[in-house]
Structure 1
Amino acid sequence: MLSAGEILYDRYQLKEKLGHGAGRQTWLAADLSANSEPVVLKLLAFGEQSQWDDLKLFERESQILRQLDHLRIPKCRDSFSIDDRILWFGLVQDYIPGTSLKQLIQDGKRFSETEVRRIAIEVLTILRDLHSLNPAVLHRDIKPSNLILGADQQIYLVDFGAVQDRPNVEGTTFTVVGTYGYTPIEQFGGRAVPASDLYALGTSLIHLLTGVCPADLPQRQLRIQWRNLVTISPALADWIDRLTHPDLEQRFQSAIEALDRLNSEPPIAFPPVERPKNTRVQLQRSKKRLEIVIPKHAQDDDPRSEILGLMMAGVALPILMFAVPMFVIMLIMNALSSAIWILILGLIVFFMFINPRFQRTYVKFDHREFIVETQRFNAMSNRMTGITRDIREVRRDANGLITITSGPYRTGYRLHQFGEELTDFEQAWVLKEIRSWLKLKSRD
């Protein structure tokens, strides 16, 4: 077993394990011959759980990376083998300081339409360069964990362990590579083409937008059902749907074509969303603040229910305050039957008290902070706060809640959620108002 501190090949000192799989390990290491410069060390233990196909893929990755010279792809520095009870093959690459998009998702990050569009353009630019080589180089395993947001805020494509630089010859055996959920059907049949990488990019973008792994999303006629989970421009949604079309012929056939179509789209604009009719959501906005009050039943427009709720509140609170001490007194006086009746009355009133008609959600934004607060009888019962300038995204998540993502903090990103009482139309309207106000605020 390898452990931190070991020195391999008399040169590379292991620092931190970054990942592992069957017979494979990836380490952050220090190159002792280059002033302990950090490098990424990929290791394959041959003869344990690995097979000849694994070794062929490992060697192909080394050969192709040595030939590539791309600013957004880590360079291959060295390769070696060590025979020490276990035969290890090593591949040394440049270390890219940054965080994988998968890790950002796990930390609570939710990507906006603007961010997803920028990531798509950067990855397509890399794929354009790879696919234009002769022979074309196919990555075959694009997914959020293999896309690194560098410290320079640029996207890097890593892990070429599934790379292919020549098509499979019909009738020959092949190794199935890729990750379920991101891999198109033709790739499982050993017929990967440039459009296969585009499919993987499209599913990765869906993951960034929804926060849900594509494999966990429902499908209809092999098409991923994801659009109901996000609020983005129809043009971008249609573009992603074409990237991920199960029929290879219906997809963009090249990164250049996909890039040209994406760049030709009009600038992002939130579609006009009008205030829903009969909504009881109260929304007030000015340049200084935005306040939203959401009753438990936002669409309940019967005034009698509100009057009934006030009457229940006027009766419930005094009785509840009276029932508790009387129950204790009756127990002390051994008046068990009276105590039971008082207990029953108190329970009835308690359930009246927690009736959802008395509950509402209060949300407020100003230039300094924002508040998401659950109130009962206009009194605070649960309160979440944050700094307005730390807001990264406001979106509808997979559970149908409006989610405010703020951070990053030392503990990661924070999620502030509300809006389960709202209809789809109300959610779209509230989302539009919040996003619009935050954009207006940034211009002040």
Structure 2
Amino acid sequence: MAEVIGGRYEVITELGRKPGKRTYRVKDLQTSDECILKRLSFGEDMAWEDVQLFERETQVLQALYHPAIPKYRDGFEISLSSGQGFALVQDYIPAPSLAQSLTAGRLWTESQLKTLAKQLLDILIYLHSHSPPVIHRDIKPSNILWDELRQQAYLVDFGAVQTVISGATRTVVGTYGYMPPEQFGGRSVPASDLYALGATLIHLASGQNPADIPQENQRLQFSNLVNLSPGFVHWLQQLLEPGLDKRLNSAQAALRKLNNSHDWARTQSQLSQPEHSKVLWLQKTDELEIIIPPARTQGGVGLGGLIFLGAFALAWNSFIFFWTGFSLLAPFPINLAFGLFSIPFWVAGIGMAGLVFFGLFGKVRLKITSETISQTFELFGFRKQVTPSSSRSSITQIEHQVRHYTKDSDGDRVTVQPDLIIWAGTRQYNLGGKGLLSDPEIEWLANALSQYLEIPLKVKAKSEGA
């Protein structure tokens, strides 16, 4: 004969068992509805924190009304052979958990993950909008149900829920692999749920438990384990930032970013690196290096311009050399005057020669870390930082100046060369000027940097009469 709990709930099957805790699927004998009943029994293996969490879960569920959260139905004390206990009854959702989906070997596609993520973010927006915010603290595949027929997600098991405003709690709850760093210290904020959501989505995409995925600087290195667009990977990385100051700080912000990630991905796929470009885009989780090789390896207009400039510099410096030599043969002080007169011409000639050497053998390196942006010019192993380093947070604008035409003071047509400028306060970091990059390369880098830094791209293009 089936066990009846509280004189009303007939046990159909046991769903889970932990020390002092049982979870059953039951039948309500008064309504014939199937429900979920969670039972907590007092005993030697029960900690006082378990009672507090159970009471908190009961109180919170009574105040929640969301179609994707199983509704609270009943709560009462019970007498057991081992002593007293508590029971909590909720609606039963006839759907498997995501953990069961993973056990079956299913890997979720990006489209499916986005559908799931949007629904879960909607739930989190509801929970976090309470005052104080309701923080689940244990989002993971086993606590999310998925109704395949209705394409609907449900968030269950609020046994770790937190509603206090204080910065830390004595009890550390959650599941390793899905918990953000701050939760290990007993601190939970709404963004803690976002980290757990990101870890859950990665588990579904890769089939690997986040606890088993390698980390670098506390960041999960998952991009090579999943088949996802760069835009969606970038969004997940924002959820999984170990530091709260860099993580997306609200479910609303995360949903907005997710809705815009398709633009990021579409632009990325439409504007790929030009076929013959030798520019290196070296991106890690928290660092980006762009290396522009010598113009001689690039070909095109840059190399042609260097050949012309090299020939002109050779002719210029040869003339100045002979002119200075003959000048020095003149009697003093005429030779001194001619020597001093030739200095600006030597400066110009050496400058042109330097440009040619840099174009043939030099490299430009732009480095953006989580803290700074810096740019160096490298030639024969020597490095020179033309513009001082700036903090990454000071980057305010990315400007793409496309090739266009204007008129000088005499009314003659003048070509304005394309350029790419990153503005960090009053400092500017130029890429692509002086013929180092082709127009398509500058356009590609401008869009890629705009997406990477999440700063709108300003396109500067103006054509005045030919």
SS at match of 1:249: coil
Q: Does 1:84 align with 2:80?
A: yes
Check whether the contact 1:143–1:204 (CA below 8 A) recurs between aligned residues: yes
- Give distance in 2, aligned partners of 1:94 and 1:49: 28
Shift of 1:84: 2.4
> Where does residue 136 of structure 2 map in the other structure?
139
> Where does residue 93 of structure 1 map in the other structure?
90
Cα deviation, 1:356-403, whole Å, max 9, x if unaligned, reads xxxxxxxxxxxxxxxxxxxxxxxxxxxxxxxxxxxxxxxxxxxxxxxx
> What is the letter of the counterpart of residue 180 of structure 2?
P
> What is the letter of the counterpart of residue 116 of structure 1?
L
Q: Does 1:25 align with 2:17?
A: no
SS at match of 1:77: strand
> What is the letter of the counterpart of residue 151 of structure 2?
Q
- Give distance in 1, aligned partners of 2:19 and 2:184: 20
Pairing of 1:2-41 with structure 2 (within 5 A): 5-34=2-31, 36-41=32-37
- Give distance in 1, aligned partners of 2:254 and 2:55: 31
> Where does residue 160 of structure 2 map in the other structure?
162
- Give distance in 1, aligned partners of 2:26 and 2:137: 26
- Give distance in 1, aligned partners of 2:199 and 2:42: 33
Identity over the aligned pairs, expressed in percent? 48
- Give distance in 1, aligned partners of 2:269 and 2:224: 15
- Give distance in 2, aligned partners of 1:26 and 1:84: 15
Shift of 1:19: 1.2
- Give distance in 2, aligned partners of 1:175 and 1:28: 28
Check whether the contact 1:72–1:155 (CA below 8 A) recurs between aligned residues: yes
Q: Does 1:125 align with 2:122?
A: yes
SS at match of 1:237: helix
> Where does residue 262 of structure 1 map in the other structure?
258
Cα deviation, 1:29-72, whole Å, max 9, x if unaligned, reads 000011x2100011111123111110010000000000111111
Check whether the contact 2:138–2:160 (CA below 8 A) recurs between aligned residues: yes
Shift of 1:257: 0.5
Pairing of 1:31-430 with structure 2 (within 5 A): 31-34=28-31, 36-86=32-82, 87-150=84-147, 151-168=149-166, 174-266=170-262, 271=269
Shift of 1:5: 1.4
> What is the letter of the counterpart of residue 210 of structure 2?
P
> Where does residue 368 of structure 2 map in the other structure?
none
> What is the letter of the counterpart of residue 188 of structure 2?
A
- Give distance in 2, aligned partners of 1:76 and 1:174: 27
- Give distance in 2, aligned partners of 1:256 and 1:101: 24
SS at match of 1:136: coil
- Give distance in 2, aligned partners of 1:250 and 1:219: 17
Shift of 1:271: 4.7
Check whether the contact 1:139–1:163 (CA below 8 A) recurs between aligned residues: yes
Check whether the contact 2:135–2:189 (CA below 8 A) recurs between aligned residues: yes
Shift of 1:83: 1.7
Cα deviation, 1:176-199, whole Å, max 9, x if unaligned, reads 100000001111212200110000
Shift of 1:167: 2.4
> What is the letter of the counterpart of residue 133 of structure 1?
H
SS at match of 2:27: strand
> What is the letter of the counterpart of residue 100 of structure 2?
Q
Check whether the contact 2:97–2:143 (CA below 8 A) recurs between aligned residues: yes
Check whether the contact 2:137–2:162 (CA below 8 A) recurs between aligned residues: yes
> What is the letter of the counterpart of residue 147 of structure 1?
I
Cα deviation, 1:289-331, whole Å, max 9, x if unaligned, reads xxxxxxxxxxxxxxxxxxxxxxxxxxxxxxxxxxxxxxxxxxx
- Give distance in 2, aligned partners of 1:187 and 1:246: 11
- Give distance in 2, aligned partners of 1:181 and 1:117: 21
SS at match of 1:195: helix
- For structure 1, the residue ranges without an aligned partner over 5 or more in a row are 275-444
- Give distance in 1, aligned partners of 2:260 and 2:76: 47
- Give distance in 1, aligned partners of 2:20 and 2:177: 23
SS at match of 2:25: strand
- For structure 2, the residue ranges without an aligned partner over 5 or more in a row are 274-466
Shift of 1:169: 5.7
Q: Are the structure 2 counterparts of residues 169 and 205 from structure 1 closer, same or farther at C-alpha, using a change threshold of 3 Å? A: closer
Tell me how many residue pairs correspond in the alignment.
Answer: 269
- Give distance in 1, aligned partners of 2:132 and 2:260: 29
SS at match of 2:30: helix
Shift of 1:153: 1.9
Q: CA RMSD in A?
A: 2.0
> Where does residue 351 of structure 2 map in the other structure?
none
- Give distance in 2, aligned partners of 1:266 and 1:104: 26
- Give distance in 2, aligned partners of 1:13 and 1:153: 30
When Rg is computed on C-alpha atoms for both structures, the one with the higher figure is 2
> What is the letter of the counterpart of residue 108 of structure 1?
G
Q: Looking at both structures, which has the greater relative contact order when contacts are Cα pairs under 8 Å and sequence separation is at least 6?
A: 1
> What is the letter of the counterpart of residue 194 of structure 2?
L
> What is the letter of the counterpart of residue 256 of structure 1?
Q
